[in-house]
Chains A and B, each alone.
Chain A
Amino acid sequence: MKRSILLITAMLIFSIFAAGCSAKSSSGGKKEEITVYTAIEDNQIPAYMDAFEKAYPNIKVSLVRDSTGIIAAKLLAEKDNPVADIVWGQGITSLMPLDEAGLLEPYNPKNIDQIMPDFKDKANPVHWVGMDGYMATFAVNTVELKKKGLPVPKSYQDLLEPKYKGLISMPNPASSGTGFLTVSAFLQLMGEDQGWEYMDKLHQNIGIYTHSGSKPAKQAGEGEFPIGISFDYPSFKEKESGAPIEVVFPKEGSGWEMEATALIKKTKIKKAAKTFMDFVTTKEFLELVNKNFAVVSEDLGNPLPEGYPQDLLTKQLIKNDFQWAGKQREAIVGEWTKRFDSKSEPKEE
């Protein structure tokens, strides 16, 4: 009896450890395993991963997908003991602070020469390499606006009109890359003082600030908040799925953001991690990305998809100073939070 109790206790303790370690020991085998943190939209990931797994069947990738803010927070929290090998498709302005904190490992991927100069780090070897760009758009629900007898807004200035009060949703720049590029575009387009003044007015019309950049487009699709300040991909996607959406490129120009990839500095850099870095600069991969993004980091010679303005690269996209935006990110987000996130009093109607 005594022995059996001991045995049970021992088995119990063993099973605790076994359960604890199973996540690691299961990776045994011959496959090399890397952990990739990514902020790429979920529905885009399967196609990319299929291509990667086809090319490198011996590498097992575990993906952690979350919004830009969470990915950055995770990487910072795990600074002393990094879990990730790669951060993939992270908004450049939140990648820059990570670089400054010394979290990124310099590495020149194989096809680095093919990448357009604006889309890679100036250092050599590069700390990060871009894969695509996305830009601010409005997703506007035409059915809901028609019901209310309102015209479709065409510019940032239009959004200030009192008739749109409570109908607009916008991503929170503290957690969303789209939110930040929008705010940084206001500041770069209008200058700091006027930019903040503009946002003060816009705030009066905002119905809700969202956590992610794609949610405003989806909410516009549902009609919950018929005007969504979002970005191009989910806006067009929502339209395709059958929601009554018109995609508007604001007259003043669109703020934009680059999604970039980088190696995480670790005591041992895995070979498979470098292979992954090489992969994200290949033409094959960027062709796939081009299906979701009008702008990718290499000139593939493909025409712009329908619905985009023809002068996209030359005129619609604003001259975006990523260096400035990355450096100022904390200050801008802090100021924004102080001004708008804190107005916590229940809205008086």
Chain B
Amino acid sequence: MLTEETVLKPSEVTVQNTIDKRKIRQKTGKAEWFHKSLILLMLLGLIIGIVLPLIQLFLEALKDKNGEYVGFVNFVNYFKTESLVQSMYNTLYISILTGVISVVLAFFYAYALARTQIRWKGLFKYVAFLPLFAPTMMHGIALIYLFGNKGAITTGFFGLFEKIFGSTMGIDIHLYGPVGIVISEVIYTFPQAFLILMVAISVTDYRLYEAAETLGSGKMKKFFTVTIPSIKYGLVSAFFVAFILSFTDFGAPKVVGAQYNVLATDIYKQVVGQQNLSMGSTVGIILIIPALVAFFADRMMQRKQSTSFSSKSVSYKIVKNPWRDKAYFVYCLLISLGVLSLIGAIIAASLVKVWPYNFSLTLEHLTFKNVAGNGLEPYFNSLYVSFITAILGTIIIFFGAYLIEKTRFMKITRQLSYFLSILPLALPGLVIGLAYIFFFNKPVFEVPFIGVYITNPFQSLYGTFMIIILANIIHFYSVNLITATTALKKLDKEFEPVSESMNIPFYKTFCNVTVPMSLPAILEIGIYLFVNSMTTISAVIFLYTADTKLASISIVNMTDAGDTAPAAAMSLIIVLTNILVRVVYEFATKKIRNRAQAWQQR
């Protein structure tokens, strides 16, 4: 090429160059235009899905009951109302306690799986993830059957122990109230904390232990000077995740909270019980604040985190120690039994005729006749919603991550989009749901104080499945965006510039390189969206109508009406569905995932 060029006359060279340049500019011009409009479209979507509803919620909090703007009166009233402030303390107390317990339990569990030679590791791992497949109410319902006033454990298996051992051996833990909430929340947050800590523990550099050994440190010292510091970010992150999850959870306090009020149930009571929508919005705004603080604190911590794990790192060598293994085995066994006994209680409650007076088996509760549900219809609605959420959500989220991560234009717009994409992490589902009612059911928007009216183009979404799907996608947006971004970051930055310079249109690169290489992450996002849409209540409790009732909501309705056994049955069906979907997914995609990951192996 070079030699040919040198032979060319100068005049010819310039002509050649300008032609080339024009050609290239034209190509990039189109791609640039397309990229830019997609980025703007994404930002617009995020504004409609997140910012505008939040503004509407905030405006609502500034109104009194008659819809007049009254400034911050609601907030002042809130802090004057002792009972409401008490709920805030209660919520903080519950969340901090949950965070601590959950992190401690999950740490030793993860430690056992990563650093000991116990048996049944695979089993323990799967059991730890089980609570992820269930709506949070299920933990509460199961606890009632185990520890309630007539629970199996409270009554010593209904007096069976009394007959055998001469004593009931019943344990009454006074379930209703903070005890019940904290136990439910710990079960709910345990898998998430475990997941984070498992990752943190498995990347420790063994050379540090060798160094400590050489210096003559004892076991305890090694634990506190090597193990803990090397995973401190994981610990903090796990704590924050558990904190936020329990801070904003609605299902567990609803079932076992009794008179112990927390912010999430306060919103529900204000809106539903007292029809005080403006106070409901006010509590909603207050609910965001600590979650937001925890969220930013976590982000800050993560930024500080520098990897102590390098290419020279040596992976952890497990030393033989039968006594340690025995202790950890018992520990893991106890926790697994705890989790499994919840599922066991739910199964038993679903199949028993009249708990605790008639233990003959029946399938009656699984028909959902004559109870506060609508038969199995909500279940099929849930399947539909979860399926569409998984498909649409995966496309939107992955494409969003791609635009933020892999395009070159409009840096500030992309950064803004990234911020908005991460924001839902700090938004409780209830807040999203409430904001959506206000935003999507307004026929006309009034821009405050200047008297301009805009007709709402999205109002037709209200009361449809689409608004529920949209709320779900936004609710689970951030977590999955992070998954997608992490996967995209693994891909070399040069794929795009190289293909661009080779005149390969970006969508070809996207379809032939980016998507296939990120396929495991994409599938993971899909399954996450499906499972969570099956179990969520908080975002959708305010959004459903007669035609769009979901299985999780029918659980709330049934427990409210006192139909606890059918509620247990519905929880069981949801759990089984999610497990089935996960198992089918694992088998069906094994080949695809292996092929997609082949490039990472040698």
Contacts and interface: CB of A to CB of B under 8 A. Distances in A.
A72 B562 CA distance: 21
Interface string A182-213: 00000000000000000000000001111110
A316 to B, nearest CB: 24
Nearest to B434: A77
Given A224-B150, A342-B261, A64 B562 contact: no
Given A22-B465, A341-B83, A344-B261, A175 B273 contact: yes
A89 interface: no
A42 B466 contact: no
Contacts of A62: 545-547
B405 interface: no
B354 interface: yes
A95 B259 CA distance: 27
B150 A208 contact: no
A224 B144 contact: yes
B275 interface: yes
Interface stretch (B122-130, B355-363, B474-482): B355-363
Given A212-B560, A215-B561, A344 B370 contact: no
B183 to A, nearest CB: 14
Interface stretch (B283-291, B310-318, B456-464, B592-600): B456-464
Contact of A242 (B87, B354, B562, B564): B354
B226 interface: no
Interface in B328-380: 354-358, 369-374
Given A72-B275, A80-B442, A337-B274, A344 B87 contact: yes
B269 interface: yes
Contact of A218 (B149, B277, B373, B563): B563
Given A223-B149, A347-B174, A20 B460 contact: yes
Contacts of B271: 73, 77
Contacts of B86: 342, 344-345
Contact of A342 (B83, B273, B372): B83
Given A5-B507, A23-B464, A81 B441 contact: yes
A20 B466 contact: yes
B459 A1 contact: no
B498 interface: no
Contacts of A174: 269, 273-274
A252 to B, nearest CB: 25
A143 interface: yes
B259 A208 contact: yes
Contacts of A242: 354, 357-358
B260 interface: yes
Given A20-B466, A224-B150, A69 B395 contact: no
Given A42-B370, A222-B150, A211 B259 contact: no
Interface in B534-553: 545-548
Interface string A59-80: 0001111110110110011101
Contacts of B82: 342
Contact of B546 (A63, A69, A73, A243): A63
Contact of A24 (B148, B273, B464): B464
Contact of A19 (B273, B469, B561): B469
B562 A209 contact: no
B448 to A, nearest CB: 16
B439 interface: no
Given A224-B148, A224-B149, A242-B354, A216 B442 contact: no
Contact of B564 (A218, A341, A342): A218
Contacts of B462: 81, 83
A312 to B, nearest CB: 25
Given A64-B546, A342-B84, 4 more contacts: A22-B464, A65-B546, A209-B259, A218-B561
Interface of B: 82-84, 86-87, 90, 144, 148-150, 174, 176-178, 258-261, 269, 271-275, 277, 354-358, 369-374, 388, 392, 395, 437, 441-443, 459-467, 469, 505, 507-508, 545-548, 557, 560-564
Q: Which 10 A-B pairs have the closest CB atoms?
A: A342-B83, A218-B562, A215-B562, A20-B466, A174-B273, A43-B370, A64-B546, A175-B273, A62-B546, A211-B560
13 contacts: A42-B370, A43-B369, A80-B442, A83-B462, A211-B560, A222-B150, A224-B144, A225-B149, A242-B358, A341-B83, A342-B86, A344-B90, A346-B178
